[in-house]
Amino acid sequence: MFSWFSFLSYTFIVAYTPGPINIMSMNNARNIGLRNSILFNAGNYTGHFIVMLACLTFSKVLYTVLPQVQLPMKIAGAAYLSYLIVKILFRANKQGITDSKNKSFLVGMLLQLVNIKVILFGLTAMSSYLLPHYESVTILVLFALLMSSIQFSANIVWTLSGSLINKLFINHGRLLSIIMAALLLYCIVKIFI
- pLDDT tens digits along 33-74: 778 888 999 999 999 999 999 999 998 888 777 777 777 877
Select from 118, 134, 122, 178 the least CA-distant residue to 4: 134
Instruction: Note the pTM of the prediction, 2 decimals.
Output: 0.71
For the chain, which ranges sit under pLDDT 50? 93, 95-100
Q: Which domain holds residue 169?
A: 4-192
- Name the domain count of the chain: 1
Identify the pLDDT of residue 161: 76
Helix intervals (H) in the chain: 4-16, 20-32, 34-65, 70-90, 105-113, 116-124, 137-161, 163-192
- Radius of gyration of the chain from its Cα atoms, rounded to whole angstroms: 17
37, amino acid identity: S
- Go through 64-96 and write b for each residue having 16 or more CB atoms within 10 A of its CB, e for each that does not: eeeeeebeebbebbbebbeebbeebeeebeebe
